[in-house]
Amino acid sequence: MPSDINILPFTLPGNVSVKRPLIVAGPCSAETEKQVLDTAGALKSMGVDVFRAGVWKPRTRPGDFEGRGLEALAWLKRVKEETGMLITTEVATESHVREAIRNEVDILWIGTRTTASPFAVETIANALEGVDIPVMVKNPIHPELSMWRGAIERFVKHGVTNIAAVHRGFSIYSKNRFRYPPQWEIPLELKKQLPGITIIHDPSHISGNRKLIYRLIKKASRLHFDGIMIEVHPKPDVAWTDPRQQITPEAFNELINKKPFRSFC
């Protein structure tokens, strides 16, 4: 079904057009100030457009590391000041939105669990009414195109139109070589329904395994996706969250010099 809403190409703060591919990179979680600054320092000369790190972590079970919160927002702000990179983090509540904006976060992203909750999306969209800030909406955890589109439409209804969609794969019960199988037909159908939407590919979450990242990026490039969102950590094997899917800055540098990055269009 074609769109009855107008989705414009995603732009960076200051109405800067996105070059392709848009590269969003950084650790899964902001663990310590040193870890954040070391990662940013390594990435700043590698063509990264936006530095990412989770400061509030929605975990499946209580007791797992749930992020450093406000303390970590100060680290991200320092990254912005010292490297000139834009910064982004996940928000899931109205208070997250307020604190992220207060700490000069440039782009907000909506996590997969939040996208699956219309009440949560409506609350965040309402909090952003009248605020000029780009938003990236990850697909819902279950393979439901209408829920992904519906979350985007809720933001548009509140006047938030600078939106990108992030393809991070979908949860299935059966075993699969990917942590969250990509089900490529879903983001492609979203693009068909919302022709102007910018789609960013997240190979880290889809793969769950750094060894599979390259083949996913090749496929996203062939499908003309607009960018990638990838997890980079100085010491992935000891990361506090998702160690298997994160790569080192050195591995990232090697990756972006391979053909898919040179031919993204």
Residue 159: the pLDDT is 95
Greatest CA separation found in the chain? 48
Residue 86 backbone phi and psi in degrees, to 5: -70, 160
Candidates 7, 49, 20; CA nearest to 262 is 20
Mean pLDDT, the chain cut into blocks of 10 residues (265 residues total): 72 88 96 97 94 86 75 97 97 97 97 97 97 97 96 96 97 88 98 95 97 96 95 97 96 90 68
Q: Where are the alpha helices (DSSP H) in the chain?
A: 33-43, 70-83, 94-102, 112-115, 118-127, 145-157, 185-193, 203-207, 213-222, 249-256, 259-263
Candidates 200, 260, 244, 209; CA nearest to 50 is 200
Residue 59: the pLDDT is 62
Q: Where do the structural domains in the chain lie, given as residue ranges?
A: 20-56+66-263
Residue 14: the pLDDT is 85
CA distance 231 to 10: 21
Do the bridges between strand 11-12 and strand 16-17 make them parallel or antiparallel, or are there none, so unpaired? antiparallel
Structural contact between residues 59 and 65, judged by C-beta atoms closer than 8 angstroms: yes
pTM as predicted: 0.94
Structural contact between residues 244 and 28, judged by C-beta atoms closer than 8 angstroms: no
The reply to whether CATH 1.10.510.10 applies to domain 20-56+66-263 is no
Could you read off the pLDDT of 6-63 as tens digits, one per residue?
A: 788 899 998 888 888 999 999 999 999 999 999 999 999 998 999 999 999 776 667 7
Structural contact between residues 257 and 23, judged by C-beta atoms closer than 8 angstroms: no
Amino acid type, 115: T
Alpha carbon separation from 46 to 30, 31, 94, 138 (Å, rounded): 20, 22, 33, 25
Structural contact between residues 218 and 209, judged by C-beta atoms closer than 8 angstroms: no
Residue 202: the pLDDT is 98
